[in-house]
Amino acid sequence: MSASTTLHVVTVFLGDGGTGGNGLGVFLEAPGLPDSTRQRIAADLGFAETVFVEEPDGARLRIHTPAIELPLAGHPLVGTAWLLAEQGSPAGVLNPPAGPVPTWAEGERVWIRADPGLAPVFDTRQLASPAEVDALQGGEKGVDLHVWAWQDEAAGHVRVRVFPDEMGIAEDEATGAAALRLGQQLGRPLTVHQGVGSRIDVRPGPEGTVEVGGRCALLDTREYRLP
């Protein structure tokens, strides 16, 4: 890479009416960066996750939060799949460190299918009501906290907030990995309403996998000077 490269900023898991959405930084051409450099860039940008595509043709990529690297994460994979398609290079499979992740589009939504057992582990707690979820003032030190409550159990609607402190994130607006885990736990289609207005669609996949999908949009494209 040269001294600067192009950064795409995508918002992922937009809610109905265009609300919410979780910001994601994506470098589509980022071969050969040392682990420490990628981590420093992710911390500098401050997005919940930043993606570095190391091999565009094979969609091989790395995912970093501001504090750590993740082998698998939902909103970075959905957002990168959407961006690659928008750039004219759609990928049927993404290749993060955890292994191949199929991806496809259905209407406005981009989907991924993954083994929830490969996703980051959260301290997941069911609360009695959406009001209790909304009343939380923050997470807990050293805990990747994932709280949820039924909004409408018959319809599969859940209210969710995620506070992944160990990942260096105070509160995540939309967390695909937590949605994968919750989809495995509940074993049924879900509509996850997270953060200030994000929506994640969840459903069981074949052979124990879970599928998560959502709407994306491009927020910005700019040059970024490498450290």
User: Is the distance from CB of 32 to CB of 49 less than 8 angstroms?
Assistant: no
- 102 bridge partner residues: 93
Q: What number of residues does the chain have? A: 227
List residues with catalytic annotation: 49
| 72: its two tokens | 């698998």
The amino acid present at 9, given as its one-letter code, is V
- 151 bridge partner residues: none
Tell me how far apart the alpha carbons of residues 30 and 27 are, in angstroms, rounded to a whole number: 6
Tell me how far apart the alpha carbons of residues 19 and 35 are, in angstroms, rounded to a whole number: 34
Q: How many CA atoms lie within 13 A of 58 on its CB side?
A: 11
Which residue from 115, 113, 95, 96 is spatially nearest to 104, judged by alpha carbons?
Answer: 113
94 exposure class (CB count in 10 Å sphere: 0-12, 13-18, 19+): buried
Handedness of CA 67, 68, 69, 70 (dihedral sign): negative
